[in-house]
Amino acid sequence: MRMLAAEDNKTNRLVLLRMSKKLNIELRFVTDGHQAVEVCATFQPDLVLMDISILGVDGKEATNRIRKGEAETGHHVPIAAQTAHP
């Protein structure tokens, strides 16, 4: 499984990395929404974990841009929203 995690918080990235370490997951991190859009197009993950309040382009806008790109390619990836804020 290939997973893209758009997460700008170092501690949260470490938690995700430790949680996925024993699983058969190729995990790639990005730290802002703009990177998430670019990497999603080239890495072609099976799942995206998208921080809603990520730096730069926020998670909602990054998701919209990914969906627009999918309309052109026909490829669809599930995107799960996440946030560390209550």
Look up tokens 């921080």; give the residue: 51
pLDDT tens-digit series, residues 37-75 = 999 999 999 999 999 998 889 999 999 999 999 998 888
User: Could you tell me the sign of the dihedral formed by the alpha carbons of 64, 37, 12, 55, in that order?
Assistant: negative
Question: Which residues are CB-contacts of 11 (< 8 A; sequence separation ≥ 6)?
Answer: none
Q: Where are the domains of the chain?
A: 2-82
Per-residue confidence band for 86, with pLDDT thresholds at 50, 70 and 90 = low
pLDDT of residue 59: 94
Q: Candidates 3.40.630.30, 3.40.50.2300, 3.40.50.1820, 3.40.50.720; correct CATH number of 2-82?
A: 3.40.50.2300
Structural tokens at position 9: 């918080």
What predicted TM-score, i.e. pTM, was given to this entire model?
A: 0.91
What is the average pLDDT score of the chain? 93
